Amino acid sequence: MERTLSIIKPDGVERGLIGEVVQRFEKAGIRIVAMKMRHLTKKEAEAFYAVHKERPFFDSLTTYMSSGPIVVMVLEGENVIQRNRELMGATNPADAAPGTIRKDFALDVEKNTVHGSDAPETAQKEIAFFFSELEIC
């Protein structure tokens, strides 16, 4: 069964949207097989987003991602990487389809409430960044 990493970003946790996001996964029949809260250091956020280190928004993004607690989850289900990205909607909420998490809740292209892995290899890497196999049910 496929797995993906989901993160409720600082803007989502701060605005009390944990339940809203979790409910969308559960209603979609996606299984949450691990979940915890973390407050990343700047260095940890930089390590997590290392693929973006040459992008102009890297410093702002990693400062933001280390600005407050996040909720990290492992989601499991058939085709869950793609299904999670459909539930999230486009990176920029201005481009996100109606009914998606980012359309409904995101503040802007950076503070966009959720993260989801984009491919099987990145999902595996991102899950291992936060969870040991023992922590996944």
Binding residues: 9, 57, 85, 91, 102, 112
Of 57 and 129, nearer to ligand ATP (C-beta) is: 57
Q: What is the DSSP letter of 120?
A: H
**Which does residue 91 touch among Mg ion, ligand ATP, none (CB within 5 to 8 A, set by kind)?**
ligand ATP
Please report how close the Cβ of residue 56 comes to ligand ATP at its closest, in angstroms. 8
112: contact with ligand ATP by CB under 6 A: yes
Site string for ligand ATP, 38-77 (x = CB under 6 A): --------------x----x---x----------------
91: contact with ligand ATP by CB under 6 A: yes
Can you state the angle between helices 18-27 and 80-88, rounded to 10 degrees?
A: 130
Of 104 and 118, nearer to Mg ion (C-beta) is: 118
Q: Any alpha helices (H) in 2-132, and if so which ranges?
A: 10-14, 18-27, 42-48, 58-65, 80-88, 101-105, 120-130
12: contact with ligand ATP by CB under 6 A: no
Show Cβ contacts of residue 137 under 8 Å, excluding neighbours closer than 6 positions: 33, 34
* CA-based nearest residue to 112, from 6, 1, 38, 27: 6
81: contact with ligand ATP by CB under 6 A: no
Known catalytic residue: 115? Answer: yes
Structure tokens at 41: 């250091």
Quote the CA–CA distance of 105 and 90 in Å, as a whole number.
12
